[in-house]
Amino acid sequence: VTLDYLSNDERAQHTKQHIENEADAQGRVITCKADVTDETQVNELAQTTANTFGGIDILINNALSHYSFDPRNRNTQQHQLDDYATQLEGCLKGTYNTCTTALPTCDANHGGRIVNISSNLVDSPIVPYHDYIAAKGALIGFTRSLAQEAGAWGVTVNAIAAGLTVGTDSSRATTEDV
């Protein structure tokens, strides 16, 4: 397992230790600090993973540009085009970078899995997170088209439309009724 993270060294090490303890994976977990929106850093991340483990078999895209799931005062007029660009940068560009870097390794191993984490809000936008929902909708479109292409190479590409995860930094401002 390669754990990529952007900034929280302590949380990355804690997660690494948790995986090692729970899965008896001692020595089979590494952490790498890389920004998935930076192509050079993604290439270095993939190279480190390939050098350590011999390739990439499964890629899970779970990166998220900073976002606060706070339904108060988030109507259309309060969003700027830059808000959409920020979410697209983190969600779509980050996923694009990791997928295009991992696919040759998956293909060389004659198979592989890519799992992109989307959101149930795309199909049921019960709160007005317009910029976030638009980016996750773009991710679903990318996932579907990539699945069509990569399936011919034996690579399975799927998305999980997750709901709100309680207890994260992003969900801290979410009201109880949501």
What residues act catalytically?
132
**DSSP per position, 45-61:** HHHHHHHHHSS-SEEEE
The answer to whether 164 and 174 have CB atoms below 8 angstroms apart is: yes
Packed helices 81-88 and 130-151: angle between N→C axes, nearest 10 degrees? 30
Task: Collect all residues with Cβ–Cβ distance below 8 Å to 1 and sequence separation of at least 6.
Answer: 19, 25, 28, 29, 30
